[in-house]
Amino acid sequence: MTSTMEWQLGGWLRTWPSALAWGTLALIGLAGLWMVFWSYRRALGSAPRGVRLGLTATRAILVLLLLVGLANPTRVVRRQPEKPSRTLAVLVDRSISMSRPDRRGMTRLADATRTWRAHETEAAEAFTAVTYHRFALGRERSSSFQEAVTSHQSGARTHLFAALRQAVNENPAAIVCLTDGLDNSPDPVADIITAATERGVPLYFVVGKNRLRPADEGLTIREVRIPAQVLRQSEFAVSVLAEVVAPGRGAVPVELWRGTTKLAATNPPVQEGRNSLFWTVEVPAGEPALLPLEFRFGTGPRQQVAGRTTRVVESASVELLYYQGALQWGYRFLRGALESDPGFRVTAILNPALGVHLSVGGAEASGMADLPADARELKRFQMVVLAHAFADLLTRGQQQALLDYVRDGGGVLFVSPDTDATRRFSGTVLEQLLPVVFESSGSSAGEQLQSRFHEQMRVVGGASVEVDPAFPGGVIERQTLPALQPIRPVPGAASARLFPASMELPHFGTYARVQAVKPGAEVLAVHPTDGMPGTDSPRVLIARQRFGNGFAAVMNTDLLWRWKLSLPSSSRAVETFWQQWLLSLSPPARGPMVELTTRTEFPQVQRPVTLRVTGVTGAVPALEIQSPQGSLQRLSVSAVDIEGQGAWEASFTPDEPGCWRVKAGEPEAGEVQISISVASQARTAELLDLPPDMDGLRHLAEATGGALIGVGRSVFEQFSVEQPAETVSAQPSWNQGWLLVLWLGGYAAELVGRRLFRLL
């Protein structure tokens, strides 16, 4: 409890601004004192000087006491709220890269420590507790910051993301990490962002810097994406992700080969230090055959090669799961459009509240009563279509299953012409995988239901009234359907394939408004006239994006059934559009795909290297390695069980450094090739003298609501805001008996004095 004396202006002054109220009170006081002096100066001309001054002072005191009453002095008693419990977790990177000195003897750990020391006082004031941890390969608790910085030896490897994930799971108010961002843990950064945002834990980084010159370690191919199966005479995308460590600025030649034919080449620039290069190429499939593709990075002995054999097929069936949140006409016409192509097999869930489900195109397809909450139950489908879905009918588990399904290689098409329905998906799990950001809902539930009712009435068609004397009652009520508008394709290769010049453009009746398109999404079609408010951008109608290993797309229009009704019965425009649109989104049938990986993190000479082959069915896979000098060796493989799935493993011991090539599988079952860079001695990221990953740490911090911490800037303002104290009581001090007696007594003394000296 705290007690303070405050001036709470009373009467009409209370509602005025503070400066204006006090200024007015001061003017009233000055005017009152001047009138007192002026009135007694004229009336007391014959009175003695002392009497005149005494009576003037008495009246002036009365005026001031009156002004004090208007100022309303009040004794306020407040209860200070308890400070919320907030814990700050400070993580100190103790890997070798943080402890290696440059030519000046400066280490990154010393640089980060100096920066953090300037914020320790601010952190102590903003948080009720601060815990300290040190980490390299593992994380340990320290009693103080000094112990975390000085105790124990430096670790040879850094599991930064693993340490952050463990700290996030302890639910601190915030995390500060002193690091250079070099990570060797297998944890994906997206999982760290998801965990931190779900728990509301912002990440702050103090980046340690010095002047170490990076070593030249060449190239490493991290990931190759080549589909196992594609359709004939189509185009498909292949991509490669590689890591390049360069001693300075330059360029790295990258090539894509089809057997002995070079298909594409580029020379992406690289900066000093570690670079991540991602390259995507559109490849024509041609006629049915086995198509060997190979990426080649760099030249000479450090060249890295990785590839895979894909199969070009004549046709492929598409297993489609159609989910519809409410009964309406769209499914009937979509089903008719797909029935003309025997390659589509549709399982439909119509209005899950009623439990209606149908199967079309294959008797063996089992129906489903509702969307599953387990992504494994969706694996038999290449695509899921969500039409007219409502957020209150999709549980978080069902939405998470869809997200995992797309991340694992599936496809989702979200179709809705209802803005009120899409607003309810704002901030949901489903919105995370879609290429657009929905408008947030700003109205109450009742207003939304009313708005949805009006929108549905507009969809059915508004009523118009005509006066006709021949009709009984003289009034006719007619229904008018909304006018159809053509979709406007966005110029680009993908739009050209979806909307070829020979095909009539689809027409829609209603559409949903979205707030924005996510970075990296591909917009295929927009509204012909309506635009985003405050911008020159048109409303997005069709968009898609890659998410994980799969695709997600939105279609913010109806299911085009009104367009079908407006066309002649002989027209096949609707069938052509739907079949082409769904085929462009559906990934190939996910059959067995040979995958070859190395299980040894840092291969080196005279140390065993373990290889693993998955996706081979039937016969034992052939595994062959080629040394940097070109000699071939056949390896023996043994069967292993990996999470209930069969796999094969083999090992070899390299006897020379350089690029070793490994080939696994059989040409008829699919073939895969990888390259393994063998060093004379194992060198981790901590020993490569790489520069700090400033961009990666900045992205991670900003994605979780944190920031990079520098010298001379406050960073914990959001945690320093204190709640206002609770007012327990407020007692006006002027409203007391002895003050009233004093005021009336002074006034009476003045009257008696004036009468005594015959001034009344």
Task: Give the pLDDT confidence of 80-131 residue by residue, as tens digits.
Answer: 666 678 899 999 999 888 888 887 888 999 999 999 999 998 898 889 899 9
Distance CA(196)–CA(218), nearest Å, equals: 34
Distance CA(15)–CA(9), nearest Å, equals: 9
Distance CA(161)–CA(185), nearest Å, equals: 6
Please say which residue of 682, 712, 741 terminates a domain: 682
Residue 428 Cα distances to 122, 200, 395, 398, 432, angstroms = 35, 16, 10, 11, 7
Q: Which long-range contacts (CB under 8 A, 24 or more apart) does 239-243 make?
A: 239/278, 239/279, 239/280, 239/281, 240/278, 240/279, 240/295, 240/297, 240/306, 241/276, 241/277, 241/278, 242/276, 242/277, 242/297, 242/304, 243/219, 243/274, 243/275, 243/276, 243/277
209 and 181 housed in the same domain: yes
Distance CA(50)–CA(744), nearest Å, equals: 23
What does the pLDDT read at residue 415?
Answer: 92
Query: Where in the sequence is the domain holding 658, given as residue range(s)?
Result: 592-682
574 and 619 housed in the same domain: no
Distance CA(411)–CA(2), nearest Å, equals: 62
CATH number reported for the structural domain that contains residue 379 in this entry: 3.40.50.880
Dig out the tokens for 360 from the structure.
Answer: 């079309």
Edge-first strand order for the sheet with 218-225 is 218-225, 235-246, 273-284
Residue 644 covered by a domain:
yes
**Which one-letter DSSP state was computed for residue 430?**
H
Computed from CA positions of residues 280, 283, 288, 294, in that sequence, does the dihedral angle turn out positive or negative?
Answer: negative
110 and 35 housed in the same domain: no
Distance CA(674)–CA(223), nearest Å, equals: 10
**Which one-letter DSSP state was computed for residue 100?**
-
Count CA atoms closer than 13 A to 626's CA, side-chain side: 12
Distance CA(423)–CA(453), nearest Å, equals: 15
What does the pLDDT read at residue 414?
Answer: 93
Number of domains in the chain: 4
Residue 457 covered by a domain:
no
Please say which residue of 585, 620, 653 terminates a domain: 585
333 close to 346: Cβ distance less than 8 angstroms: no
For residue 629, what are the contacts with CB-CB under 8 A and spacing of at least 6?
656
Q: How far apart are the first and last CA of the chain?
A: 53
626 and 525 housed in the same domain: no
What does the pLDDT read at residue 668?
Answer: 55
For residue 146, what are the contacts with CB-CB under 8 A and spacing of at least 6?
none
411 and 533 housed in the same domain: yes
Percent of the chain with pLDDT strictly greater than 90: 14
359 and 405 housed in the same domain: yes
What does the pLDDT read at residue 145?
Answer: 92
Read off the pTM.
0.51
What does the pLDDT read at residue 464?
Answer: 46
Task: Go through the chain and tell me how many residues it has.
Answer: 760
**Enclosing H/E stretch for 495:** helix 493-498
What does the pLDDT read at residue 447?
Answer: 45
Residue 274 covered by a domain:
no
547 and 668 housed in the same domain: no
What does the pLDDT read at residue 604?
Answer: 81
For residue 105, what are the contacts with CB-CB under 8 A and spacing of at least 6?
none
Dig out the tokens for 120 from the structure.
Answer: 């320790």
348 and 403 housed in the same domain: yes
* Burial (CB count within 10 angstroms: exposed 0-12, middle 13-18, buried 19+), residue 683: middle
Residue 241 covered by a domain:
no
347 and 209 housed in the same domain: no
Dig out the tokens for 719 from the structure.
Answer: 């945690």
Mean pLDDT per 10-residue interval, the chain, length 760 residues? 73 74 79 73 62 73 74 75 81 88 87 92 89 90 91 76 91 93 74 86 92 66 76 79 79 89 91 80 84 83 75 76 79 79 80 55 55 88 88 88 88 90 88 87 47 46 48 51 82 77 85 86 89 81 86 90 85 84 69 69 82 75 87 89 76 86 69 75 64 86 90 76 64 70 75 67
580 and 608 housed in the same domain: no
421 and 525 housed in the same domain: yes
